[in-house]
Amino acid sequence: MEIVKAGLKDILLINKLAEQVWEPTYKEILSPEQLQYMFTMMYSKESINEQIVKKGHEYLLVKDDTQYYGFASYEINAKPGVTKIHKIYVLPNAQGKGVGRILLSAVEKEAMVMNNTIITLNVNRFNSALHFYKKTGFQKVGEEDIDIGRGYLMEDFILEKNLAL
């Protein structure tokens, strides 16, 4: 498997991968209405374009010779010395096969190149990926409820990993 940097030419691919991952990941946690609202808010082609062009988010794709397995987005220096992972999503049939670790390792390498020693991310309190993050060295440093409109909240844990250790 290899990691490739994504760009504006890959927006449709990122959108399609997100479609395959989003519902299976959150259908037990969120209502169908919130699922649709949040997907449009975060994964519409327009939203992905804005994340890349205006917010400076970087996207990575993981693939082999035959298909793409997932993606990550992150922001170097979200705070001084801190890289924020905004998204790591792996296709359901590829979960548990090391794809998430490959993406996480690639983000960590990018962070280190830019002298960022902390990786941070938010994860839904009920997301089964919480186990993955703890297993890969993240620690819970807080909780936050983020109002995303229409009466919906993102109820998250804030996790951090210190790369300098």
Nearest-angstrom CA–CA distance, 161 and 140: 9
Q: At what angle do helices 32-43 and 11-26 cross, to 10 degrees?
A: 160
**pTM of the entire structure?**
0.95
Judge whether 108 and 114 are in contact, CB under 8 Å: no
| Helices and strands in the chain, H and E counts | 5, 7
Nearest-angstrom CA–CA distance, 87 and 84: 9
Number of domains the chain is built from: 1
CATH number of the domain enclosing 23: 3.40.630.30
pLDDT at residue 82, as a whole number: 98
pLDDT at residue 165, as a whole number: 77
Greatest Cα pair distance, the chain, in angstroms, is 43
- Per residue in 99-117, pLDDT tens? 999 999 999 999 999 999 9
- Per residue in 58-88, pLDDT tens? 999 999 999 999 999 999 999 999 999 999 9
- Per residue in 10-50, pLDDT tens? 999 999 999 999 999 999 999 999 999 999 999 999 999 99
C-alpha 125 chain-centroid distance = 15
Task: Give per-residue burial for 5-19: e unless 16+ CB within 10 Å, then b.
Answer: ebeeebbebbbebbe
Tokens representing 115 are 């002298």
C-alpha 111 chain-centroid distance = 15
Place of tokens 């290899």: 2
State the residue range of the domain holding 48. 2-162
- Per-residue pLDDT band for 2 (boundaries 50, 70, 90) equals very high
